[in-house]
């Protein structure tokens, strides 16, 4: 019987869909199936290599040491194949397929304890020997032995050498992440016409004019910058210079993960990208919070996250002119759908006018460190976004709240009927079972729940068990669940809640379930839905975990 050859474009479409589903094993088997399948399968396999489950050695501390060792072996083989392919030492040019070069992952591999010994020896064998750059570190002298030196891989030197070779053979590369040598990046950028994003551990490469020129002239698609740390003098000015060297209205995402000194000059420079900038994530300090209104030109924002590392500046009380200008700026961001404030004192007050605006439809809202008793207007405004709000996370202090305050909060939460995720973290816990049940009874679309409360009991299970798409539920308040209540909850969950994760973080010691009882619930949950249960006793923070009945 004659066989029909599947067209190459169909094979690429099949592999593209498998890559979208992150089906690494299936793509590997496709590559082994036939020579015609190998190229599309390997192309898409390495195109998503930065999402591979072997990265980071599997990132699971609970796995057995032997399994961990095997994961690190696979991890090292992935990087070895990429690097060798850049030297033409592999059957296929894997490095030419990749779109993301995450050198943070390579650094973690070289630093991993499991990498040393046989894995390291194989990794740097043969054509890789030239990359085996060592640093000699002296050990302390003891009475028994004279000081000696130990050879270890010079991690940053190895990474720089790898990057130099690989960037010469990665024409499709769109992003680079990691700790990069300041003088290396300008040269690499000239080879990467499709470069779109840099995720820098250290912002020092941005100080070089050569990089400004290289990106401006050779990287027309560059649009995203993330910086973890930066300790140089006059960082604000230097960062503003780099942003100013980019073509106007090209930057789409900007992020500072720590306080890197970004202030007035940087904020004004970002306004040069005011229409193109869609995602802004800033870490600010007491010095730079009063300068936020200088971002007024950034009106194209869709996502905004601001973290105040000091958490001591109250714009509304102490800088009211800036507070009013900042409200005006945010109200002009008509496409804004995601807002997140961390340790930002005036967050609830800033958000309230936005919640009431008919022009802004929020989908995701996060606020922490706010005082609930002072936020009545904010709570009343929340339901105004009920038609679009899908994710809500509230974390704050309940001290001084009265019954009316609690009733208002419960009523407002109950009206957010489109929510998919609800996170309520209150310090101290203030909500009782009846409050939680009242909220959960109305939010029938919830998928992920995180709740604190005072003496949470079996009654909360009933409204949760009616949720058809529940993926996870965490009870962080002091809980008094019974075995019968948990078993009934598990039996009533819908079949559509496959893989559900249940977390009981603070089980009351007076009603603590035995290990056998917990195991029974776990077995039933795994049998019915393939779900998991985490059950952790509450411990009094004033009692040492080492305290016993006797000395």
How far, rounded to the nearest angstrom, does the alpha carbon of residue 517 sit from its chain's CA centroid?
A: 35
Confidence (pLDDT) at 148:
45
Total structural domains within the chain: 1
Measured in residues, the chain has a length of: 551
Is 524 inside any structural domain? yes
Is 239 inside any structural domain? no
Is 429 inside any structural domain? no
Is 493 inside any structural domain? yes
- List, for the chain, all residue ranges whose pLDDT scores fall below the cut of 50: 1-3, 139-150, 541, 545-546, 548-551
Q: Which two tokens mark 462?
A: 């009933």
| Structural domain range at position 528 | 455-540
Q: Which two tokens mark 105?
A: 């992952």
Is 66 inside any structural domain? no
The whole model's pTM is what?
Answer: 0.89
Query: Using CA atoms, how far apart are residues 303 and 92, in angstroms rounded to an integer?
Result: 40
Confidence (pLDDT) at 248:
95
Distances in whole angstroms, Cα of residue 34 to Cα of each of 11, 37, 64, 435, 489: 11, 5, 35, 61, 49
- Answer whether 523's CB lies under 8 Å from 489's CB: no
Confidence (pLDDT) at 145:
42
Confidence (pLDDT) at 540:
56
Q: Which two tokens mark 437?
A: 């049940």
Is 473 inside any structural domain? yes
- H or E element at residue 29: helix 24-33
How far, rounded to the nearest angstrom, does the alpha carbon of residue 407 sit from its chain's CA centroid?
A: 34
Confidence (pLDDT) at 144:
44
Backbone φ and ψ for 197, nearest 5 degrees, come out as -140, 140
Is 204 inside any structural domain? no
Query: Using CA atoms, how far apart are residues 353 and 308, in angstroms rounded to an integer?
Result: 21
**8-state DSSP, 143:** S
Residue carrying structure tokens 């020579």: 35
Strand duo 224-229 + 501-507: pairing? unpaired
Is 549 inside any structural domain? no
Confidence (pLDDT) at 64:
67
Distances in whole angstroms, Cα of residue 375 to Cα of each of 274, 406, 520: 31, 11, 44
């Amino acid at each position: 019987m004659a066989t029909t050859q599947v067209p190459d474009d169909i094979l690429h479409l099949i592999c593209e869909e498998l890559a979208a589903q992150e089906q690494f094993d299936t793509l590997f088997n496709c590559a082994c199936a036939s020579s015609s399948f190998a190229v599309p399968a390997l192309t898409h396999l390495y195109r998503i290599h930065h999402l591979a489950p072997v990265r980071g050695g599997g990132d699971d501390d609970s796995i057995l040491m032997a399994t961990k060792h095997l994961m690190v072996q696979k991890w090292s083989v992935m990087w070895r194949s990429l690097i060798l392919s850049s030297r033409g030492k592999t059957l296929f040019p894997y490095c030419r397929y990749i779109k993301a070069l995450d050198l943070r992952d390579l650094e973690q591999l070289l630093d991993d304890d499991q990498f040393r010994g046989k894995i390291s020896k194989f990794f740097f064998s043969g054509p890789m020997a030239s990359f085996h750059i060592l640093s000699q570190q002296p050990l302390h002298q003891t009475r028994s032995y004279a000081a000696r030196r130990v050879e270890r891989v010079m991690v940053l030197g190895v990474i720089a050498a790898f990057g130099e070779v690989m960037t010469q053979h990665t024409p499709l590369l769109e992003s680079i992440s990691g700790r990069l040598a300041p003088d290396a990046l300008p040269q690499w950028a000239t080879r990467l016409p499709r470069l779109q994003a840099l995720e820098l551990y250290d912002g020092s490469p941005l100080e070089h004019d050569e990089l400004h020129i290289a990106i401006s002239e050779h990287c027309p698609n560059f649009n995203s910058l993330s910086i973890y740390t930066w300790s140089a003098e006059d960082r604000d000015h230097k960062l503003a210079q780099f942003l100013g060297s980019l073509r106007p209205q090209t930057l789409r995402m900007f992020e500072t993960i720590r306080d890197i000194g970004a202030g007035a000059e940087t904020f004004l420079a970002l306004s040069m990208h005011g229409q193109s900038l869609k995602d802004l994530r800033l870490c600010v300090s007491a010095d730079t919070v009063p300068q936020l209104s200088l971002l007024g030109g950034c009106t194209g924002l869709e996502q905004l996250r601001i973290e105040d590392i000091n958490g001591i500046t109250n714009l509304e009380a102490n800088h009211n002119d800036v507070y009013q200008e900042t409200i005006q700026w945010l109200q002009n961001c008509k496409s804004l759908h995601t807002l997140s404030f961390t340790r930002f004192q005036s967050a609830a007050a800033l958000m309230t006018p936005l919640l009431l605006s008919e022009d802004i439809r929020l989908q995701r809202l996060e606020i922490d460190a706010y005082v609930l008793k002072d936020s009545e207007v904010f709570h009343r405004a929340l339901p105004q976004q009920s038609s679009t709000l899908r994710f809500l996370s509230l974390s704050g202090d309940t001290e001084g709240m009265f019954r009316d305050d609690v009733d208002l909060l419960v009523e407002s939460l109950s009206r957010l009927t489109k929510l998919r995720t609800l996170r309520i973290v209150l310090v101290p816990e203030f909500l009782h079972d009846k409050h939680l049940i009242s909220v959960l009874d109305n939010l029938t679309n919830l998928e992920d729940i995180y709740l604190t409360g005072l003496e949470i009991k079996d009654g909360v299970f009933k409204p949760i068990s009616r949720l058809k798409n529940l993926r996870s539920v965490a009870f962080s308040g002091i809980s008094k669940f019974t075995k019968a209540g948990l078993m009934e909850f598990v039996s009533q969950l819908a079949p559509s809640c496959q893989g559900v994760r249940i977390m009981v973080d603070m089980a009351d010691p007076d009603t603590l379930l035995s290990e056998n009882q917990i195991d029974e619930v776990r077995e039933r949950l795994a049998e019915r839905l393939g779900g998991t249960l985490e059950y952790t006793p509450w411990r009094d923070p004033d009692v040492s975990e080492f305290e016993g009945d006797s000395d």
